[in-house]
Structure 1
Amino acid sequence: MKIVPAVLAAALMLLAAPAHATFSIVACNAQGDCGVAVATHNLAVGGSGVPWAQARVGAVASQFETNPSYGPKALALLAAGHSPTQALQQVLAEDGDYDGTTVAERQVGIVDARGRQAQYTGAKAQAADWAGAFGGEGYSVQGNGLAGEAVLRAMADAFVASSGPLDVRLLTALEAGEAAGGQRTGRMSAALLVRTPGGDWQDTDLRVDSAAQPIAGLRVMLEQRQAHAAIIRAEQLSAAHKDTEADASLAQALALAHGWDRIWARAARLAMARGEEAHAREYLATLRSINPGFGEMEWRADRYDALRGQ
């Protein structure tokens, strides 16, 4: 049976459930990175039109009854020089009662790369006790159906007190909101999106679509991403004969791997390249315990001939 594109698109939109009982933070830093961290008691929040970001422009969260046009429209307005307040006013004015709902059911947070921010919580969204939003220099926090105002306060405090990469700071804020009570109805999905001026692999786009502890799952994924960066750094440092620094990066990679078999495989290869056969055996043993099939395939590679002959 053929499905025409319009019908297929409509079906996909029905699968993107509204983000009721949601809390989020949008932020930009001085380097031009902009991003969103969000959690909700609903399915696949990362793909439901809630989080939007563009490097050197801004970030948007559209939640409660999500209007997926808000993100791209608001970012285009920010890129054209409008302030977050102006962008927010225009997207609300052009809402069009998307999906049979109105601006009364919208909750929106916007921040731009200059650090300005704006928020909106419609009357029906406000009735999802507790609901609210506020912002500060470079960030905005917003939520509905929460344990209380303390959730957003904890997020803002954690973000302001943190330092380092924006993805780490956003996730730290989301974790603080969860620790302060999070959503009254529970939890199901979470997402972390950061767009950087460098783009491509330097961006962060992590999603836990359905899990008992989605924010904890995001932390694991972010640390695995850090492990991948650390193992690459270890290889580069080793090639430059900076052995002490390479050792430190390798240790970091293994500490953050969370059982990611590829990190252990690359550690074994690096050990062989450095003539550290005892370490290579150790890393291969861990790889085999995690993934026996992959471990056996790796063991058969020519680079381990010296080990097989022992």
Structure 2
Amino acid sequence: MPNRRPARNALIRVLQLCGLVLLAIIPSMAFATFSIVACDRNGNCGVAVATNNLAVGASVPYAQARVGALVSQFETNPTYGPKGLALLSSGKSPDATLQLLLDGDGNFDGSTIAERQVGIVDARGRSATYSGTEALSSTWAGALHGDGYAIQGNGLAGEQVVAAMKQTFLSSTGTLAERLMASLEAGQDAGGQTIGKRSAALLVRTTDGAWQDIDLRVDAATEPVRDLRQLLDQHYALDAMIRAEHQAQKGTNDLARASVAQALHLSHGWDRIWRRAARLAMTMGDKDRARDYLAVFVSLSPVWGQIELKDDLYAPLHGDALFESWRKP
């Protein structure tokens, strides 16, 4: 009979190697997250976060206008979100809220408070952070907090990540969403995570609510922070296009054209924005602009473009050589 022992020994060595690889990978799955929670003077509150795990926006960020915002990361306890906001809403300070959350942790999913990293801010600007001993044992972990913000991270390239986030947030202007996004980008540019990137999210709850709120998520990507920036730009592109349409209705066409230009600049090739720009240009009598916008729209979305070209709105362009070249029999 053939000797099967060498093959069996080789298989055992392979399985042992696989076990070592798994042991190396599994602990890192919760590592490498950096985030900022903040509220502005108007009561808008939000979170920007990036990690090396999937769909960070589904469980880590929580915010409520006029109340506060918080994150639970490293080993996330998703019960902290609704419980924490309820405590803040009842008047508890971030420090008191944090202590109550830790005291009632309950070892969620088999993990303990040693594996938690938490950041909390309330609408009054008070803030608090916590990093458990296990979280602090990752490559680099730490936090900074001050009036209106808390920044925390683990598995990072170094202290410069949170320092860059703080400096950028405090020095930036614009909406809370823009400042949070800029802070997250600064953290990524300063080195970000040490073991890879996978998802990012931006959540802002505004005092206006409804369509003014922002809940953008990149659940799985090689460059999630970059892709999150694109989503935020497109959010503002749509805002600018809606503003342009309202301005045109009021007869302020010059303002409308400026808003359209802003929308197209932020569109990142979003076909819907180029289509609306073409339609608005036609209603304002700007046939040349409409044709230019249609050229881009048809190239971005050929099938939808053919449907659009049949609309009677474009009758004034019939006979135009370029317009006719796009139309199929």
TM-score range, shorter chain: over 0.9
Q: Does 1:290 align with 2:300?
A: yes
Which consecutive unaligned segments of at least 5 residues does structure 2 have?
1-27, 321-329
Q: 1:141 is matched with which residue: 151, 155, 165? A: 151
Partners of 1:133 and 1:43 lie apart in 2 by 23
Q: Does 1:170 align with 2:180?
A: yes
1:187 aligned partner? 197
Partners of 2:290 and 2:307 lie apart in 1 by 15
Q: 2:236 is matched with which residue: 210, 226, 229? A: 226
Amino acid at match of 1:124: E
Superposed counterparts of 1:73-222, under 5 Å: 73-222=83-232
Q: CA deviation at 1:295?
A: 0.9
Contact 2:216-2:231 at 8 Å conserved across structures: yes
Superposed counterparts of 1:236-255, under 5 Å: 236-255=246-265
2:50 aligned partner? 39
Amino acid at match of 2:38: A
Superposed counterparts of 1:18-37, under 5 Å: 19-37=30-48
Q: CA deviation at 1:31?
A: 1.1
Partners of 1:246 and 1:181 lie apart in 2 by 40
What is the percent sequence identity of the aligned residues?
A: 59
Contact 2:217-2:228 at 8 Å conserved across structures: yes
Partners of 2:97 and 2:62 lie apart in 1 by 14
RMSD: 1.1
Partners of 1:194 and 1:157 lie apart in 2 by 20
1:74-95 Cα deviation digits (max 9, x unpaired): 1000000000000000010000
1:264-288 Cα deviation digits (max 9, x unpaired): 1101110110111111111111101
Given the superposition, is the C-alpha separation of residues 18 and 77 from structure 1 closer, same or farther in structure 2, using an over 3 Å criterion? farther
Partners of 1:195 and 1:248 lie apart in 2 by 28
Partners of 2:305 and 2:63 lie apart in 1 by 39
Partners of 1:35 and 1:18 lie apart in 2 by 25
The TM-score with structure 1 as length reference comes to 0.93
Q: CA deviation at 1:19?
A: 4.2
Tell me the number of residue pairs that the alignment of Structure 1 and Structure 2 aligns: 293
Partners of 1:147 and 1:255 lie apart in 2 by 33
Amino acid at match of 2:55: A
Partners of 2:243 and 2:315 lie apart in 1 by 26
Contact 1:112-1:138 at 8 Å conserved across structures: yes
Amino acid at match of 1:46: G
Q: CA deviation at 1:18?
A: 6.5
Q: Which runs of 4+ in 1 moved over 2 A?
A: 17-20
Q: Does 1:299 align with 2:309?
A: yes
Contact 1:18-1:66 at 8 Å conserved across structures: no
Partners of 1:50 and 1:235 lie apart in 2 by 37
1:100-146 Cα deviation digits (max 9, x unpaired): 01000000000000000000000111101200112011000000000
- Looking at CA atoms only, which structure, 1 or 2, has the larger radius of gyration? 2
Amino acid at match of 1:242: T
Contact 1:53-1:193 at 8 Å conserved across structures: yes
Partners of 2:283 and 2:194 lie apart in 1 by 53
Which consecutive unaligned segments of at least 5 residues does structure 1 have?
1-16
Amino acid at match of 1:62: S
Amino acid at match of 2:310: R
Contact 2:139-2:194 at 8 Å conserved across structures: no
SS of corresponding position for 1:30:
coil
Contact 2:253-2:284 at 8 Å conserved across structures: no
Partners of 2:249 and 2:91 lie apart in 1 by 46
Contact 2:49-2:202 at 8 Å conserved across structures: yes
Contact 1:110-1:118 at 8 Å conserved across structures: yes
Partners of 2:232 and 2:51 lie apart in 1 by 18
Partners of 1:57 and 1:19 lie apart in 2 by 28
